Chains A and B, each alone.
Chain A
Amino acid sequence: MLLAFLVAVALAIVSMKDLFSVIMLSGIYGLLSASFFVAMDAVDVAFTEAAVGAGISTLLMLVAITMTGRSEDPDRHKPFLALAVVVVTGGLLIYGTFDMPAFGSAQAPIHQQVVPRYIQHSMEEIGVPNIVTSVLASYRGFDTFGEVVVIFTAGMGVLALLSVARRPEDIAEIDSLNDSMHEQHLILRIVSKMLLPFILLFALYVQFHGDYGPGGGFQAGVIFAAAIILYAMLFGMSTARRVINQSFIQLLAAAGVLLYGSVGIVSLLEGKNFLDYGVLSDDPVAGQHLGILLIELGVGITVASVMVIIFFNFAGRRENAHSGEENEMQNNNRGNNKT
Chain B
Amino acid sequence: MLMDHYNYWIVVVLMMTGFYIVIAHGNLIKKIVGLSIFQTSVFIFYISMAKVEGGTAPILEEGIRQYSNPLPHVLILTAIVVGIATTALGLALAVRIKEAYGSIEEEEIQRQDNLDC
Q: Are A111 and B69 neighbours in the complex by a CB distance under 8 Å?
A: yes
Contact with B along A84-124 (1 / 0, CB 8 A): 01110110011001101011111010110011001100110
B89 and A154 contact, CB distance less than 8 A: yes
Partner of B61, one of A30, A43, A129, A222: A129
Residues on B with C-beta less than 8 A from A87 are: 16
Say whether chain A's binding surface is mostly helix, strand, loop, or mixed.
Answer: helix
- Complex CA gap A100/B45 in Å reads 12
The listed residue (A6, A26, A307) touching B36 by CB distance below 8 A is: A26
A150 to B82, CA, bound (A): 7
* CB pair A68 B94 closer than 8 Å: yes
State which of B26, B27, B59, B74 has its C-beta within 8 Å of the C-beta of A19: B27
Q: Interface size bucket, A side?
A: 35 or more
Q: Does B70 contact A29, Cβ atoms closer than 8 Å?
A: no
- The majority secondary structure among interface residues of chain B is helix
User: B60 — which chain A residues lie within 8 A by C-beta?
Assistant: 119, 122-123, 129-131
Given A14-B17, A94-B9, A136-B74, A103 and B48 contact (CB-CB distance below 8 Å): yes
The listed residue (A65, A135, A140, A155) touching B29 by CB distance below 8 A is A65
CB neighbours of A64 from chain B (8 A): 29, 91, 94-95
Chain B interface residue number, banded: 35 or more
Chain B, 14-41, contact with A by CB distance < 8 Å: what is the 0/1 string? Answer: 1111111101111111101110110010
- Against B, the Cβ 8 Å flags (1 = close, 0 = not) of A290-308 are 0000000000000100110
Q: CA–CA, A49 to B44, complex, Å?
A: 11
Q: Whole-angstrom distance from the CB of B3 to the nearest CB of chain A? A: 8
B-side contacts of A48, CB under 8 Å? 77, 80-81
Please tell me if the beta carbons of B47 and A72 are within 8 angstroms of each other in the complex. Answer: no
B38 vs chain A, min Cβ distance (A): 10
CA gap between A87 and B28 in the complex, in Å: 23
Contact surface of A with B, Cβ cutoff 8 Å = 3-4, 6-7, 10-11, 13-14, 19, 22-23, 26, 29-30, 33, 36-37, 40-45, 48-49, 52-53, 56-57, 60-61, 64-65, 67-69, 72-73, 75-79, 82-83, 85-87, 89-90, 93-94, 97-98, 100, 102-106, 108, 110-111, 114-115, 118-119, 122-123, 129-132, 135-136, 140, 143-144, 147, 150-151, 154-155, 157-158, 161-162, 212-214, 216, 218-219, 221-222, 303, 306-307, 310, 313-314, 317
Given A26-B33, A135-B74, A162-B96, list of 15 further CB < 8 A pairs? A6-B44, A33-B44, A40-B51, A68-B94, A73-B105, A77-B26, A94-B9, A110-B50, A110-B72, A115-B69, A129-B60, A143-B78, A154-B88, A221-B81, A314-B88
